[in-house]
Amino acid sequence: MKPYHFFLLVLFLVASCKKDSDTANNNNPEPVVFDGIDPTIKPGDDFFSHVNKTWMDNAVIADDQVGVGAYRFLNIPQQELLKNILEEVSQQEHPKGSIEQKVGDFFASGMDTLSIDNRGIKPIQPILDRIDAISDVPSLMNFVATQIKSGDYSLVSPYISPDQEDSTINILHFSQTGLGLPDRDYYFKDDASVTAIQDAYKTYLTTIFELVGDTDAKAHAETVYAIEKQLAESHKTRIQRRVIKDNYNKLAVSDLDANQKNMGWQSMLETLGAEVDSVDVGQTAYYERLNSMLETTPLSDWKLYLKANSIGSHDGILSKPFQDAAFNYSKVLSGQSVQQSRTKRMVRRVDRQIGFALGQLYVKRYFNEDAKKRALDLVNNFQKALEKRIDNLDWMSDSTKVKAKDKLYAINKKIGYPDVWRTYDVTIDRDKFFENVVALRKDAYQYQLNQLHKPPNRDRWGTTPSTVTAYYNPSLNEIVFPAGILQAPYFDLFADDAVNYGGIGMVIGHEFTHAFDDQGAQYDKDGNVKNWWTDDDYKKFKAKTNQIIEQYDAFTVLDSVHLKGALTVGENTADNGGIAIAYDAFKMTEQGQDTTKIGGYTPDQRFFLSIANIWRVKTRDEFLRNYVATDPHSPPIWRVNGPLMNFTPFYEAFNVKPGEVNYRTEEERIKIW
């Protein structure tokens, strides 16, 4: 099967860098201009379109992209910077084992398409032969576990992270897996857009079987799809997985072995190299279904499934026909009409697989160290702003406020790049691309395995420094802002405070609010899933998040596709809180307390214009449709209009009146943080 990789993140954009107000005001004779505004659209009707409609009408999405603008699409120009580094180091001689040698030779090996195409299916043939040799269920599960160590995940999905009931130690977790479509719901819907994706996926399965010489490829593709559909029936939905405690089940290995005999848990764990007496099985129904199916599904069918999965795990590093098959499936999901160049794909792969080595080169060349210091100053200021908002909450008791502020000030801040760099214990050969990828996958597995039974590594980063992203991690109670996002358009050193506080400020506030969203609120200051609320306070908090769910359920895109309020509630809560915190912080600046207009706009208006500007994104409909179905973030238009219709200072800044589309009465405006 083709594993589905959706971009992230938890992961999303913010840029930060503090500056003094007088520096901006004195050294910025040409202030930031908000172009693209459509004056025919009232701010109170649709502020996102008021600010961005003209730009949206003229923006062109490149044939090899799914969107254009800010947000995740800022990584497109960022990858050009990485390409500059890779093309340079790959053309030079470097000491064996050096960062430059590993990064440069890995990139060069992937650019040697002639050698890759000439090898055809040879690199993967030994894996297919091992599948053919499987003789029973125990040998099948041994193959599954062995392949995981090479980055080929199929029927089980182990990972290592803190124990949510004791965050001082890392334990082994297992989550549901086994599907090739983006989500379990895709196997059961029958509307035209979804059936087109189902058909494209079956075509992909058929094609990869044909490429390895299967003479009954179409029938075998149907067999694989049928297995996946059975597995999908046991999957929890994305919304169900948001309930933290319901997805934590720490079980004794001896009990698992006794109750799920076909799984062979103890043997599998030994093969994985994990010496444990208990594991957390996040979604038990999946593993119960898998255990049952191992007995009822013919071994020959399982072999087909494993072949499809293994080919799918490697199709991007095999010859061109495999790569084309994968793209033909993905373009139905995304609407992207042209496959990206080999160079672009290799830049992403290098960043994904050896990105902390590449990140060191990026930081040396492109990162301004002053940005790291200034960003930390700004983050600290926002922390103080949130403290004041907590103090002023009218729905939270004093005892819970004390614990909320304890958690707030326990947040660890990571900015720019790691203090301790991740290393890669691999030998990279510029003539062996397939082997290089597998070696790096093995190294990644071993790196993860080495964390087992140890305290969480607080120097570890979940994203590479060059990536335009940011995140909050509840298990470690940390907030992370990589070097990649500490740049325009989210931050402009010479812009007025309104632009920066409305830009990066919203999203810095967003990340802080994640510590107190529907999921983050379930973790204490040490990263344990532990109730730190009074019963009455938590009841009030849940009532407010339910209001957010109901509000966003009513929002639509693509005319009739509704947002999933219960899926996006965490991000929506953070968006609403992020704007409020950013505004409070802005009002503490000299400009925030002034009324002097710049470019015809008051400081408050420029603050809100900047918010709409940073979510200026245009995407393909296919991408957006899948995004709404699977991503916990709302589409950009509702990341602007949704929070602003709840925020009274916006009404005052643009004189929003009753009768306008997004007007809400004071009582209807939702305020949590």
| pLDDT of the residue at 468 | 86
Nearest-angstrom CA–CA distance, 105 and 428? 7
Number of C-alpha atoms within 13 angstroms, CB side, residue 346?
A: 23
Rounded to the nearest 5 degrees, what angle is found at the Cα of 150, between the Cα atoms of 145 and 154? Answer: 50
Say how many residues make up the chain. 673
- Write the DSSP symbol of residue 132: H
Q: Residue 21: pLDDT band by 50, 70, 90 thresholds? A: very low
Same domain, 513 and 625: yes
Nearest-angstrom CA–CA distance, 358 and 347? 10
Burial of 340 per CB tally in 10 Å (0-12, 13-18, 19+): middle
Within a domain: 354: no
Is the peptide bond preceding residue 636 cis, with omega within 30 degrees of 0?
no
Within a domain: 496: yes
pLDDT for 1 beyond 80: no
pLDDT for 380 beyond 60: yes
Within a domain: 238: yes
Same domain, 507 and 631: yes
Within a domain: 660: no
The lowest-confidence range among 365-379, 464-478, 567-581 is 365-379
Contact 551, 642 (CB under 8 A): yes
Same domain, 415 and 538: yes
- Out of 318, 333, 349, a domain closes at 318
CATH number at residue 168: 1.10.1380.10
- Out of 285, 318, 351, a domain closes at 318
Q: Residue 92: pLDDT band by 50, 70, 90 thresholds? A: very high
Nearest-angstrom CA–CA distance, 270 and 263? 13
- H or E element in which residue 379 lies: helix 369-391
Same domain, 179 and 36: no
The number of distinct structural domains making up the chain is 2
For 294-333, the pLDDT digits (tens) are 999 999 999 999 999 999 999 999 999 999 999 999 999 9
pLDDT for 144 beyond 70: yes
Same domain, 159 and 29: no
| pLDDT of the residue at 432 | 97
CA dist list (Å): 105 to 91, 101, 117, 466: 9, 6, 18, 20
pLDDT for 17 beyond 50: no
Q: Residue 51: pLDDT band by 50, 70, 90 thresholds? A: very high
CB count, 10 Å around CB of 477?
21
pLDDT for 285 beyond 60: yes
Same domain, 291 and 393: no
Within a domain: 98: no
Among 350, 321, 312, smallest CA distance to 117 is for 321
Number of C-alpha atoms within 13 angstroms, CB side, residue 488?
A: 5
CATH number at residue 605: 3.40.390.10
| pLDDT of the residue at 494 | 81
Q: What percent of the chain has pLDDT over 90?
A: 88
| pLDDT of the residue at 422 | 96
For 589-635, the pLDDT digits (tens) are 999 999 999 999 999 999 999 999 999 999 999 999 999 999 999 99
Domain span at residue 497 reads 21-60+369-422+460-654
SS3 per residue for 658-669 = CCCCCCCCCCCC
- Out of 291, 318, 345, a domain closes at 318
| pLDDT of the residue at 3 | 39
Same domain, 586 and 472: yes
Within a domain: 335: no
Same domain, 387 and 260: no
What's the whole-number average pLDDT of the chain? 93
| pLDDT of the residue at 330 | 97
Same domain, 373 and 293: no
Same domain, 38 and 141: no
| pLDDT of the residue at 5 | 35
Within a domain: 194: yes
Structure tokens at 411: 């947040």
Nearest-angstrom CA–CA distance, 222 and 561? 29
DSSP-assigned beta bridge partners for residue 122: none
For 416-432, the pLDDT digits (tens) are 999 999 999 999 999 99
Contact 374, 18 (CB under 8 A): yes
Residue 515: what residue type? A
Within a domain: 253: yes
Q: Residue 31: pLDDT band by 50, 70, 90 thresholds? A: confident
Same domain, 301 and 392: no
Same domain, 297 and 406: no
| Phi, psi (deg, nearest 5) at residue 298 | -55, 145
| pLDDT of the residue at 72 | 84
Structure tokens at 355: 């990105």
For 469-483, the pLDDT digits (tens) are 889 999 999 999 998
Q: What percent of the chain has pLDDT over 70?
A: 96
**Which residues have a Cβ under 8 Å from the Cβ of 57 and sit 6 or more positions away?**
none
Question: In a 3-state reduction of DSSP, which class is residue 175?
Answer: strand
| pLDDT of the residue at 504 | 86
| pLDDT of the residue at 25 | 42
pTM: 0.92
